[in-house]
Amino acid sequence: MNLLDRTMVNLGSSRAPDLLGHITLYELDSGNLYYVYYIENKFYASKEVCRDTKKILSERGSDNDYHYNVDIFFNDKDRHLGWSFPFNGIHFSD
C-alpha cells in the first residue's frame, strides 16, 4: 500500500475546543483508496472507497464517545489544516 496524503483536521467545538485529528489516505494494491481517521492519535474509523465508482466498499469504526459532529467535521474541507511535508510516493509493505 502507498501512503498518498495526510492532513490534520480541526475537530474543535464548544464541547472540546482544542480537539484535533487527522486523516491518512492510502492507495491499496487493488488501486482502491483507503482512508483512516484518527482523533488525538487514536483510531476513530476507516473506509475503503472504489477509485473508479467512488462507492464505499467497507467501513470500520471504533467504539467511542465522540459527538456525531466529528464525522461532519472530518468531511468539512474548511477544517483541514494540511501537513508539514508531503508523503506522496512512500510505499509500505503489508
- Structural domains counted in the chain: 1
Residue 83 resides in a domain = no
Residue 6 resides in a domain = yes
- Give the separation between CA 49 and CA 84, rounded to whole angstroms: 26
How does DSSP assign the chain, residue by residue? -EEEEEEEEE---SS-TT-EEEEEEEE-TTS-EEEEEEETTEEEEEEEE-TTT--EEEEEE------THHHHHHH-GGGEEE-SS--TTEE---
Residue 42 resides in a domain = yes
Nearest C-alpha neighbor of 22 from the set 3, 37, 42, 43:
37
pTM (two decimals):
0.81
Residue 78 resides in a domain = no
* Containing structural domain, residue 50: 2-68
User: In tens digits, what is the pLDDT along the chain, a chain of 94 residues?
Assistant: 899 999 999 999 888 899 999 999 999 999 999 999 999 989 999 999 999 999 999 999 887 777 677 888 988 999 998 875 554 544 444 3
